[in-house]
Amino acid sequence: MNSPFLPVLLALSLAWPVAALAEKADRDKPMNVEADSLRYDDLRQVSVFTGKVVLTKGTIVIRGARLEVRQDPDGFQYGIVTGEPGKRAFYRQKREGLDEWIEGESEVIDYDGKADRVKFIRQAELRRLRGATIVDEMIGSLITYENTTDVFTVDGGPASPRPGGRVRAVLGPREAASAPASGTPPAQLRPAPGISGSPR
């Protein structure tokens, strides 16, 4: 018997060209953080920022109430951002070669610099914008965005904003004008990746 809280499997093509991933240069840019206070643990290589936190890293912008950042021996950075009580943390990043942006909100945002992955945890919402227009929108309990493959996994559950814990996806029509912003010839674009739900 199926529970309304089980993840919903989506097998929908999003018409997001594989060649147009998140800005590749972002992972090599320095991480800049502004906040009301900072506590740094040199032994553990962990920094905890609190109070109106704003993180920028290339085209990435993340905002929340608290940010914990650590760095591994290879120099990869990891961050966990939480929103204020009753509010969600915010994430935004440009897509490579296009006038398109990925925006997301959730109670917790988990950024993994080594895997180039972002997780939106609880009350999660993710949008793709072309210019200022929302083209696609996904809502669920957990959304995982794989920057390297441009594939999204959306899970439902009790922490979904949707009634019954269900996943919701609004997908805009395919448009040839999801065109490269920097003059990349359309012939270089490949078939679109997909969006899928995964069991927990």
The DSSP bridge pattern shows strands 168-171 and 133-146 to be antiparallel
Q: What is the mean pLDDT of residues 175-197?
A: 43
pLDDT in tens, 123-162: 999 999 988 889 999 999 999 998 888 788 999 988 887 8
Answer yes or no: are the C-beta atoms of 21 and 94 closer than 8 Å. Answer: no
Residue with tokens 């740094």: 40
**Neighbouring residues of 170: CB distance < 8 A, sequence distance ≥ 6:** 136, 137, 138
Q: Domain-by-domain residue ranges, the chain?
A: 12-178
Average pLDDT, rounded, for the chain: 77
Q: What is the mean pLDDT of residues 172-195?
A: 47
Distance CA 171, CA 6 (A): 22
Distance CA 29, CA 55 (A): 12
CB neighbourhood size of 136 (10 A): 21
Q: What is the mean pLDDT of residues 156-179?
A: 76
CATH 1.10.730.10 fits 12-178, yes or no: no
Q: What is the mean pLDDT of residues 42-46?
A: 86
Specify the pTM: 0.73
CB neighbourhood size of 86 (10 A): 6
